[in-house]
Amino acid sequence: MPYYIFVTGGVLSSLGKGVASASIASLLEEQGLKVNIQKLDPYLNVDPGTMSPYQHGEVYVTEDGAETDLDLGHYERFTKRSMTKKNNVTAGRVYYNVIQREREGGYLGATVQVIPHITDEIKRLIREVEEDCHVVIVEVGGTVGDIEGLPFLEAVRQLSMEVGREKVLFVHITYVPFIKTAGELKTKPTQHSVKELRAIGIQPDIILCRSEMEIPEGIKEKIALFTNVQKSAVISAPDLEFIYEVPLVFKKQGLDRLIAQRFSFEYKEVKSKWEDIVQTLRSAEREVKIALVGKYVSLKDSYKSVVEALIHGGIANRARVKVIWVNSEDYDEKVLEEAHGILVPGGFGERGIGGKLKALSYGRESKKPTFGICLGMQLMCVEFARNVLGLKEANSTEFDPFTPHPVIDLMEEQKNIKELGGTMRLGSYPCKLVEGTKVREIYKQELIYERHRHRYEFNNKYREPFQEAGMVFSGLSPDERLVEIVELKEHPWYIGCQFHPEFKSKPFQPHPLFVSFISACLQGQ
């Protein structure tokens, strides 16, 4: 049976529990331990797949095709672990499972209640990720005090008693605000947050203090006194320039040593792999500006993995990446002129399509490196059909079901689907790269596997005129039925892919497409 670390949050949301959990996991991996991480989300949606990005940020897709919380992206980027459907549990999924079992007679006519039936199901789902690991880190989403999170907190309290309190560690992330008019850091919100947690039977072992600045020793002593933890267990988590500094800040304060002592692991003095990453980011002498053209740019978490993958591409090229956020509904060519490259990410719905098409047209005509992902690739094809082939009414049937030139159309296997959640082409699929193409040169292999999330595809009826006009279908499904990658012959770097390469990029294993894209942008300066 593994050891458990439960991560809770207090005071307010968006404190960075996901990055903190991933950082702890990374530090434990550096100690030679196998770690798994799970996210518990209290909302009643079964998964985030049908939720607006404004509500939830990006939908992260795993290898096995799960639509999950964006924090699973942090888990994969910071660790060696590949996430699965089991690593994200929502209240919707929990209640769905319990109700389904009740309807099937699984409870033998008993009255179904939050305790024990909902909490038992939560515990069962948590224990599904125990296999092949020394430590399981469970991030409890939401904020302590929220009514919807109570069943999850009660479940982890129960589980801590069942596995033995000596095998469990509670980490509470809280907020220590700085009041400028008083010139003081205030501990009262943290005190009340911990009080709320203790009221439901959970005593935190470690307090992670998020703040604008580093927490001074005197404040740590005060927090330790009022929360009943050791001063050494009060860890400062200040705002940082790079999220990849977080493991180093925790390590410097002895967080990994503290956990090792609690679980009786032998502590090893090792140099953290994050030192080189952070040093590369800080010492980068070159800067590259990337115009990210999307309709959700007001909530930057909607494109979290894309931005991180761009940073990874920058690390590989020893360059700093500056993202220029371009709202596709307010297209301004002057903004694109100052950028070194253009990226049009995935998305759904007609809003903002006009701006994306104009950006792609500008990228194609100006010979500026241009990268289209998922919907971005589809719109590359629409723009090409309209402005190169002269098919002025060309479109995707997603936006115009009656277009006379449906260059992008609904996939055959998607046509009779009624339910929206979890029904797209999801997860990892193979792609065969055509010899002599740019992407074959970039990947340096014939067969690749990438993660997908889409319902629409390139209409094969238009392959021949596209090819004759200079578009190359450089990546295809092994049966050659599906177009997965397009590129232009007479362009330094103009590539679109139907999949989401950002989901497989890590700081230490940057995705080859992003590495090549950033390199092309630097060459064009």
CATH 3.40.50.300 positions along the chain are 3-276
Give the integer Cα–Cα distance in Å for 97 and 124. 11
Q: What is the mean pLDDT of the chain?
A: 95
Q: What pLDDT, on the 0 to 100 scale, is given for residue 52?
A: 77
The 88-90 sheet, strands edge to edge: 88-90, 35-41, 135-140, 3-9, 168-175, 206-211, 234-238
Section 351-370 average pLDDT: 96
Q: Which distant-in-sequence residues (6+ apart) come within 8 Å of 332 by Cβ?
A: 326
Q: How many alpha carbons lie under 13 Å from residue 420 in its C-beta half-sphere? A: 8
- Whether residue 516 has pLDDT greater than 70: yes
- Give Cα separations from 503 to 38, 59, 157, 449, 451 (angstroms): 17, 10, 33, 12, 7
pLDDT at 326 over 80: yes
| Catalytically active residues, by annotation | 374, 500, 502
How many Å apart are CA 287 and CA 522, to the nearest integer? 8
Which residues partner with 23 through β-bridges? none
Each residue of 253-264: pLDDT tens digit?
999 999 999 999
Which residues, other chains included, contact 524 with Cβ-Cβ below 8 Å and sequence gap of 6+?
Answer: 340, 341, 368, 369, 492
The CATH classification of domain 3-276, taken from the options 3.40.30.10, 3.40.50.300, 3.40.630.30, 3.90.700.10: 3.40.50.300
E strand or H helix at 362: helix 353-366
pLDDT at residue 420 tops 60: no
d(C-alpha 66, C-alpha 424), whole Å: 10
The token duo for 145 is 């005090």
Query: Residue 525: its pLDDT value, please?
Result: 79
pLDDT at 507 over 90: yes
- In this predicted model, what pLDDT tens digit does every residue of 462-495 receive, in sequence order? 999 999 999 999 999 999 999 999 999 999 999 9
Tracing tokens 């801590």 back to the chain, one arrives at 160
How sure is the predictor about 122, in pLDDT bands with cuts at 50, 70 and 90? Answer: very high
Fold classified for 285-523: Rossmann fold (3.40.50)
378 confidence band (pLDDT: 50, 70, 90): very high
CATH 3.40.50.880 in the chain is located at 285-523
Structure confidence by residue, pLDDT tens digits, 199-208: 999 999 999 9
- pLDDT for 346 equals 94
Task: Give mean pLDDT, residues 439-449.
Answer: 98
Residues 30-87 have pLDDT tens digits of 999 999 999 999 999 888 877 777 777 899 999 999 999 999 999 999 999 999 999 9
Indicate the SS3 state at residue 319: strand
Q: What confidence score (pLDDT) does residue 169 get?
A: 98
Strands (E), 401-482: 405-410, 425-433, 447-454, 456-458, 471-476
Measured over all CA atoms, what is the biggest interatomic distance in the chain, rounded to whole angstroms?
Answer: 74
| Residue that has been written with the tokens 């989901």 in this structure | 503
